[in-house]
């Protein structure tokens, strides 16, 4: 890309207010392995406002998935302070403040599509009728209303991923954590899913923390793109996306010159770091 575009200056962290979905202050994570200590994250300061879509992007090993797992309380930070809606991550997890989706759909193959979507509700003792109503609503939302009775093995990878996203929305979380949910999909499906996700998020008003390898994906979905660098994993730059409001983004947005400008801005931010360019898909 040789299009000259102004590189946006790094944005100062959004001021903390009580409604912030995620607040990280100096968060670090060190893993102990046999070959010594590995610093996965260091000094991460980040605030995700309620309803905001923030993508984490960076080369392999930059700690973006680790950061997401810390927010989800699937791992614990070794330093710093992390709150989810003002609460410690463990409390937020136990209170079901977030929904989560991974690169692997992780559906239970013995359950129907409907029963998979109902799983979080079932685990938390929601009544049968309410579960059924919510699952129907969600499956309509992700366009799988006709597949409620199917088993996951009968669906394509993209459809399975849509089920996983419906499941993550089951309890109307005000925060969605997504770890490369479209990473295993083909380009066509991927773009369609992105468009759907933008719509779903606009409808639900949830904040999203979205891990991805793809620059166009991050730009298309986000209000802000957090660019990370590896060894040790830290935030190198935060790129605000200047596109139209996320709700009004459509497939046409991908051919917008503003879209390309933002893609370039994120790419240059990635290249700014010493080792940043490696391991990034320019999809």
Partner 1 sequence: MTGGRYRALRATAYGIAALLLFCLVWELVKAVVPAAGVHVLGASVLPRTDDHAMPHVWDVVARMGRSETSARGADSVLVAMGKAGWFTLRVALAGWLVGVVAGMALAVLMARRRLAEAAVLPWVVLSQTVPLIALAPLVVGWGGRIHLGAFEWQRWMSVAAIASYLAFFPVAVGALRGLQSPTPAQTDLFRAQAAGWWRTLVSLRLPASVPYVVPALRLGAATAVVGAIVAEVSTGAPGGIGRLIISYAQSASGDPGKPWAAIVAAAALGLVAAGLVGLVGLLLRRYRYAEVSS
Binding residues for partner 1, per CB under 8 A? 72-74, 93-94, 96, 98, 100, 102-110, 119-120, 122-124, 151-153, 157, 160-161, 184
- Find the shortest distance in angstroms from Cβ 100 to partner 1: 5
User: Do 233 and 66 meet the contact criterion of CB atoms below 8 Å apart?
Assistant: yes
Q: Is the peptide bond before 169 cis (omega within 30 degrees of 0)?
A: no
- Report the residue number, 175 or 263, with the smaller CB distance to partner 1: 175
Among 195, 155, 179, CA closest to 99? 179
- Find the shortest distance in angstroms from Cβ 233 to partner 1: 20
- Report the residue number, 58 or 181, with the smaller CB distance to partner 1: 181
- Report the residue number, 15 or 33, with the smaller CB distance to partner 1: 33
Burial label, 136 (beta-carbon count in 10 A; 0-12, 13-18, 19+):
middle
- Find the shortest distance in angstroms from Cβ 49 to partner 1: 22
- Find the shortest distance in angstroms from Cβ 104 to partner 1: 4
- Report the residue number, 164 or 238, with the smaller CB distance to partner 1: 164
- Find the shortest distance in angstroms from Cβ 119 to partner 1: 8
- Report the residue number, 87 or 124, with the smaller CB distance to partner 1: 124
- Find the shortest distance in angstroms from Cβ 280 to partner 1: 23
- Find the shortest distance in angstroms from Cβ 120 to partner 1: 5
- Report the residue number, 54 or 177, with the smaller CB distance to partner 1: 177
Among 116, 109, 143, CA closest to 131? 116
- Find the shortest distance in angstroms from Cβ 277 to partner 1: 28
User: Which residues contact residue 162 at a Cβ distance below 8 angstroms, ignoring those fewer than 6 apart?
Assistant: 142, 143, 144, 193, 196
| Distance, C-alpha 266 to centroid of its chain | 17
Place of tokens 């660098």: 229
Q: Tokens in use for 270?
A: 């990635």
Ramachandran quadrant class, 51 (left: phi over 0; alpha: psi -120 to 50; beta: rest): left
- Report the residue number, 5 or 96, with the smaller CB distance to partner 1: 96
- Report the residue number, 39 or 184, with the smaller CB distance to partner 1: 184
Output DSSP code: residue 6.
P
């Amino acid at each position: 890309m040789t299009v000259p575009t102004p590189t946006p200056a790094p944005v100062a962290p959004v001021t903390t207010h009580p409604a912030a979905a995620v607040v990280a202050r100096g968060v670090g994570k060190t893993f102990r392995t046999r070959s010594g200590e590995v610093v996965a994250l260091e000094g991460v300061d980040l605030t995700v406002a309620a309803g905001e879509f923030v993508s984490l992007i960076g080369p392999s090993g930059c700690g973006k998935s680790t950061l997401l797992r810390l927010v989800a309380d699937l791992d614990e930070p070794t330093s710093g302070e992390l709150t989810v809606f003002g609460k410690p991550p463990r409390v937020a997890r136990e209170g079901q403040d977030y929904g989560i989706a991974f690169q692997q759909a992780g559906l239970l193959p013995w359950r129907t599509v409907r029963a998979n979507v109902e799983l979080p509700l079932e685990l938390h003792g929601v009544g049968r009728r309410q579960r059924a109503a919510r699952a129907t609503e969600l499956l309509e939302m992700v366009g799988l209303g006709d597949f409620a009775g199917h088993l996951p093995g009968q669906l394509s990878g993209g459809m399975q991923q849509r089920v996983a996203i419906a499941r993550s929305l089951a309890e109307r979380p005000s925060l969605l954590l997504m770890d490369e949910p479209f990473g295993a999909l083909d380009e066509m499906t991927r773009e369609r899913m992105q468009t759907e996700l933008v719509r779903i998020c606009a409808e639900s008003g949830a904040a999203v923390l979205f891990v991805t390898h793809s620059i166009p994906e991050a730009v298309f979905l986000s209000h802000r793109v957090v660019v990370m660098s590896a060894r040790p994993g830290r935030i190198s730059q935060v790129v605000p996306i200047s596109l139209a409001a996320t709700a009004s983004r459509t497939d046409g947005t991908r051919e917008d010159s503003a879209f390309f400008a933002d893609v370039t801005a994120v790419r240059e931010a990635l290249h700014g770091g010493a080792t940043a360019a490696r391991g990034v898909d320019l999809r």
